[in-house]
Structure 1
Amino acid sequence: MDDATDVAGESYNPWTVVHLVFTHLAEQGLHPALGETGDPAAPAAALLVALGIEPRAEGNREVMRRVHDHLAEIRNVVFEADR
């Protein structure tokens, strides 16, 4: 994503949105309860879709790419040391 306005392909975990909202509400002195009125993941996923972001269980695609790149770098260093 070279251009900040290019949001094609963005993804995010809807449960992260649920966690963020519940944490914010609790910090405001409210007492949200998970599951009393249904699964909050569906409305969180709908919010992401409305914002043009794809709901995905693995979360942010760019973050996962960086994690995979970093793990590959670690593997290269470790296995190079064994040779």
Structure 2
Amino acid sequence: MPYTVVTPEDWGRGQRDPPGQWIAEQRRTCTAGTLEAGRVAELEKLGMLWSKQETAWADEVAVAKEYADIHACFLPITFLVAPQWGARPPELA
């Protein structure tokens, strides 16, 4: 959930923080080791993603695995697959 997400007015948010900010605070508290274990468990039951970086990593590894399964290796041609990952080799420039 984006940090800046705003819930509809009819949800009766009152004085509470927007959900994105609240989730960010739970992540910070958990990382600091000060979020109670029961709260961690409750959030995990809801499918809490504790680290956006870990989630992104898992997504990218899944793509890499799919590539490796198709091509029998993981040696993508970076200038064709994702130009931002590498420049064209000089011999192809």
**TM-score, normalised relative to structure 1:** 0.36
Q: Where is the strand percentage greater, Structure 1 or Structure 2?
A: 1
Tell me which structure has the larger Cα radius of gyration.
Answer: 2
Higher relative contact order (CA closer than 8 Å, sequence separation 6+): 1
